[in-house]
Amino acid sequence: MLYFQKVSKVYPDHSTALHDVTFTVNRGEFLSLVGHSGAGKTTVIKLILGEEAPTKGTVSFESVNIHSLRKKKLALYRRKIGVVFQDFRLIPSKTAYENIAFAMEAAGRTDAEVAADVPDVLELVGLQKKMSNFPRELSGGEKQRVAIARALVNQPELIIADEPTGNLDPINAHEIVQILKKINELGTTVMLTTHNRGVIDDLKRRVITLDDGAIVRDDEHGKYSL
């Protein structure tokens, strides 16, 4: 599904973020990407989203080189990916329902589709009773559930969860990971980046470990080992 082939990334200040990185993400997989700050995780995500281009090598989605896409096709490609951030990035003036609906409207979905799909994803993340609440009225865990629902509502092929438990207590972190597992079991590919050792060890799924821009481990049923 997603292919990194001998990818290196050197920024204009001559810092090397990635060096000769090769890996494949299979459709339907749940993959965790771990590494200390500065290891290259953020650069991997930016390359997948087409926000940065590799200095060497190729990043492909299916058989298409992401960085050969022109602006319009790149925008269409990005609709295949849902992103969940550590800091939620919800619009404060919009309710939970409206935050999710806004993502659908931006993708050109109809009012009928919004009315049908938003309640469904809110139910999936256990927030159907909070759809009229504003972000300030939600806990951290609830905000992250809204963010996951927003990332999921346009039915992406890949969900990237970038440190989604970083601002949460252990109970909420566990619940967020269970939701991501449920989404994966329903067929969506999930890539998780995290520093949370407990999350990784409990998942018992594939773990790629980055260190100083290079892959140092790729374990099918890995644990957090840094």
pLDDT in tens, 2-28: 999 999 999 999 999 999 999 999 999
Question: Predicted confidence band at 223 (pLDDT cuts at 50, 70, 90)?
Answer: low
Reference 49, options 25, 22, 81; nearest CA is 81
Give the CA angle between residues 21, 24, 29 to the nearest 5°.
135
Which class is domain 31-39+70-219? alpha beta
pLDDT in tens, 115-143: 999 999 999 999 999 999 999 999 999 99
Six token digits for residue 37: 């700050």
Domain ranges of the chain: 31-39+70-219
* Count of CB atoms situated within 10 Å of the CB of 13: 5
Question: Predicted confidence band at 224 (pLDDT cuts at 50, 70, 90)?
Answer: low
Q: What is the pTM of this model?
A: 0.90
pLDDT in tens, 139-196: 999 999 999 999 999 999 999 999 998 888 888 888 999 999 999 999 999 999 988 8
Q: What is the pLDDT of residue 226?
A: 60
Reference 156, options 69, 61, 72, 20; nearest CA is 61
Q: Do residues 2 and 61 touch, judged by C-beta distance below 8 A?
A: yes
Q: What is the pLDDT of residue 220?
A: 87
